[in-house]
Amino acid sequence: MGFQWDDKYATGNDEIDNQHKQIFAYLDELEDHIEHGASQQWVENFMSALGLYTRSHFCYEEICMRQAKCPIAAKNKDQHAKLLAAFHKAEQKLEREGISDELLQQLKDFLTSWLVNHIMKIDVHLKACTK
């Protein structure tokens, strides 16, 4: 299916939008590798790259929201912490159990629903605060 950027994801902050696009590109890459067969090593490397990227993106976004005095800033920060905790658990599971079709599918569903829903439901509120 691919992860297509859409204006409905826009936050009114170009830098944040670009970072979100990069996260979409990561998800697209994961989907592609799941379809064509991914190795354990590839998935582990992927998770650490995505984890690093997401962490620095979250920091940046939290600063922007705080500076814009966005009413949703605290909720955003809280969701980021929860997402990172769940991400860490997924990484541990991957290391413990090794990859399987089922685990890769779970991983993709988890990342997609968390990241895309988060962007759609929380991050888009930044738009109203920066105007």
> Rule CB under 5 A: which residues touch Fe ion?
61, 76, 123
Q: How far is the CB of 119 from Fe ion (least distance, A)?
A: 7
DSSP structure class, residue 57: H
Q: How far is the CB of 62 from Fe ion (least distance, A)?
A: 8
Tokens of residue 29, six digits: 């890459």
Q: How far is the CB of 9 from Fe ion (least distance, A)?
A: 12
The alpha carbon dihedral of 94, 89, 113, 18 has a sign of negative
Q: How far is the CB of 11 from Fe ion (least distance, A)?
A: 9
Of 22 and 105, which CB lies nearer to Fe ion in the complex structure?
22
Instruction: Please give the helix or strand (H or E) that residue 93 lies within, else none.
Output: helix 73-97
Instruction: Give Cα separations from 65 to 24, 50, 57, 58, 61 (angstroms).
Output: 21, 22, 12, 10, 6
Of 13 and 76, which CB lies nearer to Fe ion in the complex structure?
76
Of 20 and 94, which CB lies nearer to Fe ion in the complex structure?
20
Instruction: Give Cα separations from 104 to 39, 41, 71, 88 (angstroms).
Output: 11, 13, 36, 15
Tokens of residue 4, six digits: 């297509």
Of 17 and 123, which CB lies nearer to Fe ion in the complex structure?
123
